[in-house]
Amino acid sequence: MKQKPSGRPSSKQTIRDIKRKTREQYSAEEKSRIVLDGLRDEDSIAELCRREGIDQRPYHKWTKDFMKAGRKRLVDDLVRQANSSEVFDLWREARGLREAVAEQTHAGACCERDKPASIQRPFSVARASTKR
């Protein structure tokens, strides 16, 4: 049995490391383009992968990830996180609406007191008649 010299990696490990370091990295845009080409179904997946110079395994993984991200995005669209400026703007708008409602309510109450009893709303008359 042959012993390996200590401190040196095996030739298989060296080859594996070289392949790992020289493996082409694809950007998200490139992956999306390749996956969308495959979803168009113009060519077979094998032909698409040959043309792009990739194995079918990463293509199928990218497709699965693409679909999962799309599904997540559709679900997140219903419950979207608002950023702080949007929240601030909504608070400001709500405050303005509350002030407008308060002014309208106050103006309506003032007008009710000034109307003759025959024109006032029924609940105002009913409340007035229950007072002793």
Are the beta carbons of 50 and 25 closer than 8 angstroms?
A: no
Task: Return all residues near 24 (Cβ < 8 A) that are at least 6 apart.
Answer: 53
pLDDT band at 32, cuts 50/70/90? very high
DSSP class of residue 115 equals: S
Could you report the per-residue pLDDT of 74-97, keeping only the tens digit for each?
Answer: 777 666 666 788 888 899 999 999
pTM (2 decimals)? Answer: 0.45
Read off the tokens for 96. 């303005």
